[in-house]
Structure 1
């Protein structure tokens, strides 16, 4: 295990507990895990396990990592910058901007806000883009073949959006609970392109990533992760055994919804800047923190704002300041969670290099795994101290 501590006698970080929690995640079956926790001026970085099962190369806390749907916060912030400037109306119909992609009554009913908080009723395109996942979310009837078959496929975002729009609706526009769908965020990417005259990725890079001063964050230019990184081992609920490395994978299947590459340090810096009001204006930040119930891909109902969701953390002297805000994300083989307390003081970002480690029971439901408790324990230690 490696660790890096900025410390003094008043350090509020329990470094021994953090080191033990990271090591326990590795011992529970995770090849590699790395994290950064901040409390004010104090910072702890730790890592345990390996970045490459074949060579035994150790994982370190500074590795670049595919952060999956954490990307959605970046995309939401970019859209809200345009709301701040008066170019986009948060409650304007999407059909006003993208009449060809969302035409007719649906385009008139679905608003920008509904895309941001997943209450549009638009279905997830993923099972249609990856044929062997067509039965999703009925996991027992899915197969991981498409993950390998389409590893180097360059998807057209318009075609992916059309798959989601053409699929049976999963709700009525504005109805709750909403249903989490990457289709929403691909549409937001096209909306950014429409109003800025450049790609969503370029706009987000210039106006969100660079504004936050992030040095190791960016969108991929090809199927590989540039710079030091871990391999990413996808298990697909035990159907890939042993888990297969998917660190080389064309990420056009998610684009501005989930393709960003970053580091745990950059993610903590980004969420700190965002919650301090340095990325979007105060009114937009308040809108981001207005939540509705949304059903996740895993079937859980969570509170979801505009590209942010809360987690309850440690108590605080200020009412509501014990709530953490951030986002989680998965890709094929990788997972990330980044959370910052509402007062901006306590932060955590955690990355792991295996996903969907639970096998399925006879009814197709994920079975408990020691990693579930170990990862949850790491989150508790990181947020609660």
Structure 2
């Protein structure tokens, strides 16, 4: 079912998310040659400065699609083998039997069994994503910390494993993608940021997308308000932050327009070959960071509704910011939405996030953006 853009419905849906409690959000939806852009709310709760649809934004783990595409390019050039054990490339980082058992493909689709390093780098998060005993203190402690990616990988590799290599469901882990960053650097002889910029970002023709060079976001952008499940009240601005805690696995800055262009180009076969794209779209069940079971491919995951077309893309969160970008399988319709608050759900006694009105109106916005 091919739906034209309903601009009035999109305007109303964005406004509803703001009224439900998000300080500010902005979005772009494309359908063929038609483009709608909209924004609602404020970029700064103190000054009342409004958000605009052209703002730059930290897009978090959407970066993983860019990283995965870069690895696929190197696989096409036979410099990386997707089914080669990571221990053959990086024996010091994943030593011994695990290094021989975990393949590059298992890192990309999160079936390596390697744990998330985040609760070890951020001690107050403890057993994140189990939330009962967490607190936000580490977010402030590490605002300007310059993390060493090899040390972060070491934390994830040393932590208790979360599954057997290749077993499903996999468990989403940033440790996997920091290893892919190291692998890219070994295969290309340049930094992962340089390679992804030249061969993914520039190939897609993205003008407002890049990796940060310091803790600030360059260009027009919103403040980013972190609520940490009601423990930070009022939510605190974390827009100035050293992103070395995730590095090139989740640190990209982009715009909603660039994200739609990127996924459109990727699905059209302009970034990786059609056979690589087909592999990226082959999914396995994975437990997301929110504890939900999702289907996950190689840096891509699908959104499917009964009787509707399949969309492909990725979501991303940073401290205070969230983004979702999804493009229909034929590349003709795409949507990207950015919000400037995160973790608005409060927790029940057992540490589970409680439903919030924002959840429903955000889901409604995604539906009208994708399906009309």
TM-score normalised by the shorter chain: which range applies?
A: over 0.9
CA contact (8 A) 1:313 1:341 kept: no
Secondary structure, aligned partner of 2:177: helix
What is the CA distance between 1:311 and its match in structure 2? 0.1
| Superposed structure 1 runs of 4+ greater than 3 Å apart | 313-316
Partners of 1:137 and 1:56 in 2: CA distance: 33
Count of residues paired in the alignment? 371
- Deviation string, structure 1 residues 46-76 (Cα, Å, up to 9, x no partner): 0000000000000000000000000000000
Paired residue for 1:377, among 342, 349, 364?
Answer: 364
Secondary structure, aligned partner of 1:294: strand
Flag structure 1 segments of 5+ consecutive residues without an equivalent.
Answer: 1-9, 317-321
What is the CA distance between 1:136 and its match in structure 2? 1.8
Flag structure 2 segments of 5+ consecutive residues without an equivalent.
Answer: none
Partner in structure 1 of residue 311 of structure 2: 324
CA contact (8 A) 1:11 1:42 kept: no
Residues 354-365 of structure 1 aligned to structure 2 (within 5 Å): 354-365=341-352
Paired residue for 1:334, among 309, 314, 321?
Answer: 321
Partner in structure 2 of residue 218 of structure 1: 210
Partners of 1:34 and 1:314 in 2: CA distance: 27
Residues 123-138 of structure 1 aligned to structure 2 (within 5 Å): 123-138=115-130
CA contact (8 A) 2:3 2:371 kept: no
CA contact (8 A) 1:211 1:279 kept: yes
Normalized against structure 2, the TM-score is what? 0.98
CA contact (8 A) 1:23 1:48 kept: yes
Residues 173-192 of structure 1 aligned to structure 2 (within 5 Å): 173-192=165-184
Paired residue for 1:312, among 304, 313, 330?
Answer: 304
Secondary structure, aligned partner of 1:360: coil
Secondary structure, aligned partner of 1:339: strand
Please provide the CA RMSD for this pair.
Answer: 1.1
Partners of 2:143 and 2:276 in 1: CA distance: 37
- Deviation string, structure 1 residues 202-243 (Cα, Å, up to 9, x no partner): 100000000000000000000000000000000000000000
What is the CA distance between 1:114 and its match in structure 2? 0.1
Structure 1 290/11 Cα, relative in aligned 2: closer, same or farther at 3 Å?
closer
CA contact (8 A) 2:326 2:336 kept: yes
Residues 193-342 of structure 1 aligned to structure 2 (within 5 Å): 193-313=185-305, 315=307, 322-342=309-329
Partner in structure 1 of residue 335 of structure 2: 348
Partners of 1:24 and 1:81 in 2: CA distance: 41
Structure 1 346/268 Cα, relative in aligned 2: closer, same or farther at 3 Å?
same
Secondary structure, aligned partner of 1:285: helix
Answer yes or no: is 1:17 the counterpart of 2:4: no
Paired residue for 1:159, among 151, 154, 162?
Answer: 151
Partners of 2:346 and 2:306 in 1: CA distance: 32
What is the CA distance between 1:140 and its match in structure 2? 1.8
